[in-house]
Structure 1
Amino acid sequence: MYTVLIADDEKVIREGLSCIINWTDYGFTICGEASNGEETLNLILKKQPNLVLLDINMPKLYGINVIKLARDRGYQGKFIILSGYSDFKYAQSAIKLGVNEYLTKPIDEDELSRSIESIKTTLISEAQNLENIFQYKQKAKNTILHELITESSSLSLNDIQYIHLYADKYQILLYENYSYKFRDVSYDFADILRLTNTSNLFDYFIEDNMNVILLKGDVALKKFNRFLEHYDRIPQKGSPLDSIFIAYGRPVNHIFDISISYKEAAALIKRRFFCKKGQHTLGFPDFPAIETKNIMITREIIEEYAFELADYIQCFNRQKVNDSLIHLENHLYNVRNNISETKLFLADLYLLIKERINRLYSNIQIPFPTNSEIIQLIQSKFYLYEIIQFYSSQFEMIMNALGAYSRNSILEDILYYIEHNFHNHIKLETIAPLFGYNSAYLGKLIHKTVGKNFNSYLDEIRIEHSKKLLSQQELKVYEIAECIGYNNVDYFHKKFKKYVGMSPAEYRKSMKEG
C-alpha cells in the first residue's frame, strides 16, 4: 500500500480530497494532513509519503519552496500541485522540481483519478526497476565475491565501492548446522546477523556449497568478537546459537586479501571432525597448527597402537587404556591425512586389536561386532571423540569378556597374560610396566607365587604347548619352535630335552607309537 499526504490551508478542501475518491481502490492510504508549508515540509521529511497533494499557495512556506527544500533534503516521492492559478510560470517551476501533475481548482474528480492512476503506474514501474537494479547489483556482487576469494578478480577500488564492499577491515566466516542429524534446522546465522546488525556490515553468499559471511569494517569485527566471547561457552540447548557451527579466518585490511581469510576458514571447517564435544566454533588462532602439520599415518603407527592397546586390555589396565586413547586422539589431531584416511586408519586399528585378541583367546566367546559393522560404524561417526568413546566402551566389553573380575589379584592377571602371550618374545622388563611394577619386584612376586623364576615359568608354558603341537603331527619341529616363541630351533631342542628328558622328535615318535 502506498501513502499520500494532503496539504492545503483550507480544512474543507482537505476533507474533500480525502473523500472525493476511494484512495484504497487506487492502492493508497492517507498518512497525514497539513495546513501550512512548514508543517507540510516536516511531515514530508518525517513520513516520506509516496505522494503529496500540495496547494501551491500555502501560509508560512510557499508550495514551490516546500518542494524545493524537500528535494534538496533527498525526498524522492511524487507531487500533485493544486492551484487556483492557471499560470504557466508556476507550471514551469513545478516541472523543474519534478512535480508529476499540475491541477487547477476546483479539482475535477476524473482528472484527479487519472493523475493518481498515472502516478501509481509510475511507482510500480520504478519499484520494479529498483528491484531489477538490486538483483543485478546482487548478482554482480556475488560474482565479484567469488572472484575475490578465488584470487581471480581484476576489479578496481571504484568497482568495489560501487557495490558497497569497501571497508577498513574484513573477515570471512563459514557456517553450517551444528547437528548433522537434523538438516532442517529453522535458524540461519545470516538471519540472526540481520536482526542484530545493519546490512552494510556484512554480505552473505554461497561458495562451494558453503554458507559464507563477509564481515565489513571494524564495527562488524568487534561485534563478532563480542559474539564469540559469548559463543565460546556452550550455548543453551535449543537456542538459535546451539544449532550453528562457525569457522572463521583471520581479519585482513584489504578487500583483495579476503581470499586469505576464506582459505583459513575453509580449511578449519574441514577439521571439524577433530572438535571436542559441544564445540561450536573453530577459528584462525587454530590455523597455524593445522597448516604446519607434516605427520602422516603409517602402517607401523597403526600396529604400534594396536599392540599397545591389546596389551593394556589383556592386563586389564583401564588407566593405561585411557591414557593410550588420549595419546591416540592427540596424535591424530596432528596428522596431515584427510578425514576419510583417518577413519580408515581407525577402522584398521580396531580390526587389528580384534584379530589379536581373538587369536590369543580363541577359547573365549567375545561379542565383537562383525568387521563390516565396525567399518560402517566408524565411517558413520562425525567426530573423532565419538570413535574414541566407541573404542573405550568396546575395550571395556573385551576386558569383561576375558574375565577380569573372576580373578582376585593383579598377579593372577599377570600369569593369565603370560599364558596367552608366551608365543611372543615377552620379557619380564616389558611385562612389568604394563601392570605398573618394576621388573625386579615383579620377578620376586612371580617366584614367590609359582616357585620358580620368570624365565623358567615361561619355558615350562612354552614346552607344555609344544608337546600338544608335537602330538598333532602337523607342524615341523622348527615351525613349532617359532609358534611357541623360540627363534632358534637348537635352543628349542635344548629346552625341550631339559624339561621332558628327550628330544622333540623322540617325543613325537613316542606319542605316535603310544
Structure 2
Amino acid sequence: MWKILIIDDDFQVLEGMKKAIPWASIDAELVGEASDGAEGLEMVRQTEPDIIITDIYMPVMNGLEMIEKLRETNFPGELIILSGYTDFQYARQALRLQVSDYLSKPVTIQELETVLAKVIKELEAKEIKKIEQEEIKRRLLLYEPFGQQEWLKSVMTGTLHKSAAAASIPPSEQSYWLHRSHLVMGIELMSTVRTANLSLIDWNLFRFALANIIREVLAEDWPESDFIELHSHHAAIMFHIDDTIPMETALDRIRSIGNRITECVLTYLKLTIRLGLGQIKASWLEISDSTEEAFLDLLQQTVTTPQGKLASVSSELAIRPIKFYQELAEAIVYSKEETAAQIVEAYIRQIQSMSTITPAYLQYLCTELWTIFAYSLYSVSIVLDELFPDMNLSAEIVQIQTPEQLQQWLQHKIHIIATSRHWNENSKHKDVVEFMIQYAHDHYAEEIGLEDMSKQLYLSRNYLNQIFKKATGETFTNYLIQVRMKKAQTLLAEGNYLIYEISEKVGYKNVPYFSSIFKKYTGVSPSEVGKSGL
C-alpha cells in the first residue's frame, strides 16, 4: 500500500483532499498531514511516505524550501505541488527540484486521480529499475550465506569441474577435506496419504522442518558432516570420517544415525523417509561417486517390474542420475531451453547404450523429473500445474516405453516451460522471494517484518509484499506465522519446554496471544497438544 503525506496550511484543502483521493482504488493510505514545511519534514521522517502532496506558500517554511531539504537527504519518493500560485518563477523552481507534477488550485477530482495514477506508475517503474540496476549487488547479498552450500552441493553432485576443484578449497579447510574419508547418505522423503494433497508451500515447510531435525541429530552424533538439500523430495548427508576410525565402526555409527533420523522424522513430523548408503571414498574428489551409489541404492528399493523383480538400473556410474537431475533443474530454473535440451540429449545417449534399461525405470524417471520440475519452478514463483492445466500425467507417463519417447516428452515440456509468458513475468523475482523465505526460517524467533526485508533488499515494503504474495499465495506475515506454528508444534511434541518458553522461542512475548494464534492455526490449544502428546 502506497503511503501519502499531505502538507497544506489550509484546513479546508486538507479535508477536501482526504475526501477526494480514491484511496482504495489506488491502493494508498494517508499516513499524515502537516500545516507547514518544517512540520512536514518531521512527518516525512516519522512516516517515510511514498508520495508527498504539498502547497508552496506556508508559514515557518514554504514548500519549495522543504523540497530542497528533502532533495539534500535523497528523499526517494515522489512530490506533487498543489498551489494557488501560478507564477512562472515558482514553476521553474519546481522543475529544477524535479517534482512529479505542479497543479494549480482549485484542482478537479479527475485531475487529481490522473496525476496520482501517473505518479504511482512512476513509483512502480522506479522499483523495477532498482531491481535491474542492483542485480549484482542483490545477488551477492542473497547468495553470500549460501555460497558454501552451493559449493558443497556441486561437490556432492559432481557438477564441480575437477580440474579447478582443488583450487576451490579455502586454505584453512584443506586439511579437513584432504585428510579424511567421505561417505554420502541419500535421503528420500516419501509420499504418503498425509502429503498427497499438500500445497507446495506446505511441502516447503515440511522440508525446512526435516532439515532442522537432521541438522540437530548430526550436531549431536556426527558434527563433521554436511546436510545438503537437493531437489523436491531428495536430500543427502556428507559424512567426513577420520582415518583413525575403523571402516566397520564408522559404517555402524552412520547406520545408527540414519535410524535415529528416521525415527525422529516419523515422531515429530509424522513423515516417512528412506535412506540409501554410498561407499566410503578415500578422496573428496570421489564424493559424487558415493552420492550416485547412495541414490542407486534408493532406486533399487523403489523400481520393480510387474513380476516383482527389481528393474535393472545398473550400477554403472556413467548414468549419474543425481548429476543429471541437478544440471537439468538448474537449466529449468534459469529458463535455458537449449542447455536443458543438450543435457537431456546427452543423458538419453547414455541410456541408449545400456541394454538393461526397462520401461519401468523410464517411467520412474519421468515421475522423478516431473516432481523436480514442479519444485524447481515453485522456487521461481511458477506453479507447474498452471502451465499444463489439462494434462493427465499418469496417462502420458505410461505411454513412455523407450529412451527416444522419454527425450521427446521431456523436450516438449521444457519448451512449453521456457517459452511461458508466466515464467518471463515472474522469474526476475526469484531471488527476492527465496531470500524472504529463508529469512523467515532463520529469524522466526525474532521480531521481524517487511521493514526488515525492505532494509536488506533495498525495496519498499509495499513492493515486497506484492511480489511475495504473487509468488507464494500468502502474505509474508501469514507465511511467518506458519513457520512459527510448525516450529511450535515440533517443540510441543518434544515435551521439553513449558508453553511460555515455546512462545518465546517462536517469537511471541505475549503468551495468551501465542495461544490464540496457535489454536487458530491448528484447531487446538498448546495445552491440549501437550496433554495429548501429539
Q: Which of the pair has the greater relative contact order for Cα pairs under 8 Å at 6+ separation?
A: 2
Larger Rg: 1
| TM superposition score normalised by structure 1 | 0.34
| TM superposition score normalised by structure 2 | 0.32
